[in-house]
Amino acid sequence: MADPATPLVVVAATANQHKLDEMRAVFGASIELLPRPAEVPEVVEDADSFVGNARLKAVAIAEASGHVALADDSGLEVDALDGAPGVESAYYGGGDHDDAANRARLVSELSGVAVAQRTARFRTVMVLRWPDGREVVAQGSCEGRIGEQEKGDQGFGYDPLFVPDGSDGRTFGEHTADEKNAISHRSRACLALLTELGFAD
């Protein structure tokens, strides 16, 4: 679908600078990721799955911009909470993208849950959509567990609570940007997308 010798210019559905920075770090010169046009409002995410929400956003941005659009939907799935917060990750604390409230509720919900039962994963689904309706779907995940208290001031969202497997006990909030990008759900989804497009093996 893409010419490996020519960067693919894509309009992002997200205005989250943290997400844009993480994706650009992985895409490198293969994909030129443009920010969502200021005049395009946020898309209502009312699907019941990550891929559904990502597709809603990708379709809206492709139609509004007339360009190839990239949207992702990500969330945290906690096994002891039957997969919650899942698609509600951004609104788990009752507000709209209130990271502190989301983390506070998660800590409360897991109060008293043993470390061995606090397994979780971050999941990202990406939908790359052309104005003519063609699309590519890619996904990535990162296994880990939820810490009993917040640690670190890096990253965003649930990062200060999420301890990825194989990370010597540090949360994503304690990882450098490069360390997180080496193993994160979002970077793995980006790599999967590059592979689907023929930019990587």
Q: Are strands 69-78 and 135-146 parallel, antiparallel or unpaired?
A: unpaired
Q: Does domain 8-197 have CATH number 3.90.950.10?
A: yes
Distance (Å, rounded) from C-alpha 50 to C-alpha 123? 8
The active-site residue out of 46, 48, 73, 98 is 73
In the annotation, is 201 catalytic?
no
Both structure tokens of 37 = 């046009």
Q: Is 78 helix (H, G, I), strand (E, B) or coil?
A: strand
Residues 6+ apart with CB under 8 A from 81: 109, 110
pTM: 0.89
Confidence of residue 96 (pLDDT cuts 50, 70, 90): confident
**Where do the domains of the chain lie?**
8-197
Res 18 pLDDT > 90: no
Q: When comparing pLDDT for 97 and 31, which is higher?
A: 31
